Chain A
Amino acid sequence: MRARRRLVHAVKRAALYVAALAFTVLAVFPFYWMTITAFKEDNDLYIGATVRTHIPWIFNEPPTLEHFQYLLRETAYLAWVRNTVVVGAAVVVITLLLAVPAGYALARLTGRWGERLGIGIFLTYLIPPTLLFIPFSRVIAVLGLQNSLWALIVVYPTFTIPFCTWLLMGFFRSIPRDIEEQAMIDGYSRLSAVRLVVLPLAVSGLLTAAFFSFTLVMQDFVYALTFISSVGKMTVSLGIPVALFRDVFNWGAMMAAALITSVPIAIVYNLFIDRFIAGLTAGAVKG
């Protein structure tokens, strides 16, 4: 009797592990495919899927670096990386300059009306780029910023600032009020107290905000597609799908590009995701 129960329990547990494995595989499989494609020789890649004897899941020929070499030497990929980094850095700076004071103000200096405003800022996410890109194309043309990275630098903060303000507000709230007040009693104005005592303690929050801003910049496709037309000015997210192929489809190179771009993001994402989740659940679940 007990043996049977233990068996049932073991089977349940095994089923759970299998299910967990299945979900993970489901999420990860395209990356495996991306990786293997990036390293496969062309004649290992382009064999029709009706051919039974060729197994696409494994390396039938030895892996090669030729796609990476092609990517880095014969395409504008590096230029796109440079553009993305430049735009990203500029947007991060603008975002922090605006979101840090705003996040602090919402955490400490405002009561009811501040919360309302905070929600108001956040609600701007409900007016998405795909609604705004048409009027923006007109605005950008009027300003003469057509086909310029400046167009992106100006527009991207509209979606990085709300998120970072909310994130930083959570971080500032987690720093005990006492410490600021003590600094004010010890001899500083509130602003100085923030500079000397609060910001050093919020460094991880600032880094998290900076990082997530950068990833939001990297994600955008719509604005880049609307504003940028020349290949040399493209960002990675736009260039790879739209300008990598010239006359012949080169999936190997495309997957190589996708891989190089994805890996760093994934690594750093995981370093910061704990803080992000903590902020999200602390606010949402406890209310």
Chain B
Amino acid sequence: MGYVETRDLHKHYGEVRAVDGVDLEVNEGELLVLLGPSGCGKTTLMRMIAGLEVPTSGEISIAGERVDEGVPPRARGIAMVFQSYALYPHKTAFRNIAFPLEAAGQPPERVKERVQGGARMFGIERLLGRFPRQLSGGERQRVALARAVVRDPRVFLFDEPLSNLDAQLRAIARYELKEFQRQLGTTTIYVTHDQVEAMGLGDRIAVMEKGRVRQIGTPQDVYDYPADTFVATFLGSPPMNLVEHDERTLLGFRPEQLLPRSIFPSSQPVFSYHLRVRQVEHLGADRLIYGYLEEETRADQPVIADLPVTITLPIAEQQVYEFAVPRSAMRSFDRATGLRRDGAA
């Protein structure tokens, strides 16, 4: 029984099915990432859990209590951080963080104590007297986090909180966010469209598309054993190669698994191919090889091989090389349904 649960949750706007039957169980203390492209329903799902949208049908429970019928957001024991941070522009950072405590009727000394505590946790004590417009993006994010933390909620909800940060800051912020969640141990649901973020942060990832959850699992599970072609191509950059093997089968293998045959010891079971190289991209830490497998010519799309720079084998365009994929890394998908077939290809 999950700490946060949804059962057959639906949200329809007329014809549009934004959330189309989602069963979710979030374990206590874990950080679950809702990952998917825009429009997949992840934000709508989270907003229903928060109480900002009313479900069309289905159930939501938090800590064992049903919340989908007439329980307003303030009574669900949640804290949410929006993509824009939603800081109150007319209040100082202190008043922003104090806001939920005052709403709960806490006495002023208590409020001050807790606000200082929260601010200390994120290193923003000296910013408490400033207004949001006087703060940088990173500082605003911390004020929003401090505000979320001080009411000691049962669940954190994050709606793409890192997307407004500069790219350089994002990796560090991601690390710090995970540290902070681990320390507090609060159940967290995190929405993002960035699969790198999802893989880095999540204890588990729920991949969503068109209102449904395609797969839930640990990052490694979802990456290595994608449940269908959507998950397979959504995760990983560049995406998993999908090759039409026959009318009913698609073969899938990750670019980093397609390597020159000579790399593999002769004892390792592999699938061998001849790769006719069209383009080579030097990306610094990797080389991306775009080419066609001579043995698999049904489709027009090139496959991609991702060679780490440590493999120094010279690869030239317009040449043919022997490449291979380890048997253990090969996946096969049903061409009609897109679902992965268990067992070896």
Q: Which residues of A contact B (CB under 8 A)?
A: 176, 178-179, 181-189, 197, 200-201
Contacts and interface: CB of A to CB of B under 8 A. Distances in A.
A201 B99 CA distance: 16
Contact of B80 (A179, A185, A188): A185
Interface in B69-105: 72-74, 78-80, 82-84, 86, 88-90, 99-100, 103-104
A179 B88 CA distance: 7
Nearest to B84: A178
Contacts of B82: 178, 181-182
Interface residues of B, number: 22
21 contacts: A176-B86, A178-B86, A181-B80, A181-B82, A184-B51, A184-B52, A184-B72, A185-B51, A185-B52, A185-B78, A186-B74, A186-B99, A186-B100, A186-B147, A186-B151, A187-B99, A187-B100, A187-B103, A188-B74, A201-B89, A201-B90
B207 interface: no
B145 interface: no
Contacts of B90: 200-201
B76 to A, nearest CB: 8
A181 B100 CA distance: 13
B86 A189 contact: no
Contacts of B89: 179, 201
A200 B90 CA distance: 8
B259 interface: no
B199 interface: no
Task: Name the prevailing secondary structure of the A interface residues.
Answer: helix
Contacts of A201: 89-90
Contacts of A178: 82-84, 86
B185 to A, nearest CB: 21
Contacts of B88: 179, 182-183, 197
B115 interface: no
Contact of A182 (B51, B86, B104): B86
B166 to A, nearest CB: 21
A22 B49 CA distance: 64
A233 B99 CA distance: 50
B50 interface: yes
A197 B51 CA distance: 19
B294 to A, nearest CB: 54
B84 A176 contact: yes
Q: Which 3 A-B pairs have the closest CB atoms?
A: A187-B103, A178-B86, A182-B86
A187 B84 contact: no
B74 A185 contact: yes
Contacts of A200: 90
B196 to A, nearest CB: 25
A185 to B, nearest CB: 5
A187 B84 CA distance: 19
B28 to A, nearest CB: 21
A179 B89 CA distance: 9
A187 B86 contact: no
Nearest to B159: A178
B103 A181 contact: no
Nearest to B102: A187
Given A186-B151, A188-B103, A189-B72, 15 more contacts: A178-B82, A178-B84, A179-B89, A181-B80, A181-B82, A181-B86, A182-B82, A182-B86, A184-B72, A185-B51, A185-B52, A186-B100, A187-B99, A187-B103, A189-B74
Nearest to A200: B90
A182 B87 CA distance: 8
A109 to B, nearest CB: 13
Nearest to B90: A200
A122 to B, nearest CB: 26
B84 A183 contact: no
Contact of B74 (A176, A179, A184): A184
A179 B86 contact: yes
A238 to B, nearest CB: 42
Contacts of A189: 72, 74
A182 B103 contact: no
Contacts of A181: 52, 73, 80, 82, 86
Contacts of A188: 74, 103
A186 B96 CA distance: 10
B74 A187 contact: yes
Interface string B2-29: 0000000000000000000000000000
A44 to B, nearest CB: 55
Interface string B146-162: 01000100000000000
A176 B132 CA distance: 14
Contacts of B104: 187
B99 A183 contact: yes
Contacts of B50: 185
Contact of B73 (A176, A179, A185, A197): A185
Contacts of B52: 181, 184-185
Interface in B129-155: 147, 151
Contacts of A185: 50-52, 73-74, 78-80
A178 B83 CA distance: 9
A183 B74 CA distance: 9
A185 B90 CA distance: 18
A197 B132 CA distance: 14
Contacts of A197: 88
Nearest to B50: A185
Nearest to A178: B86
